[in-house]
Amino acid sequence: MKRLLITGAAGGVGRAMRPRLRDMAQTLRLADMLPITDADTHEETVLCDLNDAQAVREMVRGCDGILHLGGKSTEGDFETILEGNIRGLYNLYEAARAEGITRVLFASSNHTIGFYEQDQRLKTTDPMRPDSLYGVSKCFGEALASMYHDKFGIETAIVRIGSCFETPANHRMLSTWLSYNDFADLVACVFRAPKLGCPVIWGASANPAGWWESVGAEAIGWHPKDSSEIFRAQIEAMGPKPPVDDPNSRYQGGLFTVEPIHQRQGGT
């Protein structure tokens, strides 16, 4: 691949992916609304707010694929989510359509199904149960990706990421953790597959404590290798698992289920 666009490249996952995706493309185009000042020789940077359709069109021009990580990544006020995750995603797909880009990895989230309880085992085909406005925006994103596939043939891997951090941070994440290396392997499988379609994929490592059926993506050769179990002793040493009625022990989405509806502070 000549040029892979990474949106949200200034964020936690974006920063972790950059060295791991070094060989995925001749050039990595790193885009974010925040400046990125440490680009390497094989990288180029674009400052772009996803809410700005013209800027998004320019951001995607000349790219062969899009790893879409950009947007509000936690619960927030509706306007912020609207700008980054709803209008922002529409801008991205419209730009991809106009510029002839046919493959995307969309970073969806476990918060699309966060109100399922932790003793439930889910398939990707189970109905969504979002736990937050953020989760609802990811449901919108999944639907938008599906429509651009059916109508225009743009292929998207919809990856419902669990918790993608260096290490799991609490008991819940022993079930939801996705290692950076497993995610980077998934990105490689997505952009190298001869045919992708528009699958929903659980973005989790091979965690024995996991809740999701068929983690991995057989059709494109993705088999996660890491396991959160190596961190179990460390997590248990931090304190006992919260009681069963605590949202972090009851719901798959954890504390997102008790987030209030936030109001934007200070006007528009």
Which residues belong to the active site?
Answer: 134
Cα–Cα dist 129/203, whole Å: 17
Of the two residues 109 and 156, which places its CB atom closer to ligand 15L in the complex? 109
Contact residues: ligand 15L, CB under 6 A: 73-74, 109-111, 163, 176
Q: Which residue has the tokens 């691949």?
A: 1
Judged by beta carbon distances under 5 to 8 A according to partner kind, the member of ligand NAI, ligand 15L, none in contact with residue 33 is: ligand NAI
The angle formed by the CA atoms of residues 191, 193 and 194, to the nearest 5 degrees, is 120
Of the two residues 151 and 215, which places its CB atom closer to ligand NAI in the complex? 215
Eight-class DSSP state of 64: S
Q: Considering the complex, what minimum distance in angstroms separates the CB of residue 160 from ligand NAI?
A: 7
Q: Is 242 in the site for ligand NAI (CB under 6 A)?
A: no
Cα–Cα dist 118/129, whole Å: 13
Cα–Cα dist 105/219, whole Å: 15
Of the two residues 102 and 124, which places its CB atom closer to ligand 15L in the complex? 124
Of the two residues 13 and 193, which places its CB atom closer to ligand NAI in the complex? 13
Number of residues that bind ligand NAI (CB under 6 A): 27
CA 122, chain centre distance (Å):
18
Residues 114-173 that bind ligand NAI (CB under 6 A): 161, 163-165
115's tokens: 């109100």
Whether the Cβ atoms of residue 191 and residue 156 lie closer than 8 Å to each other: no
Eight-class DSSP state of 127: P
Judged by beta carbon distances under 5 to 8 A according to partner kind, the member of ligand 15L, ligand NAI, none in contact with residue 149 is: none
Residue number of the CB atom closest to ligand NAI: 11
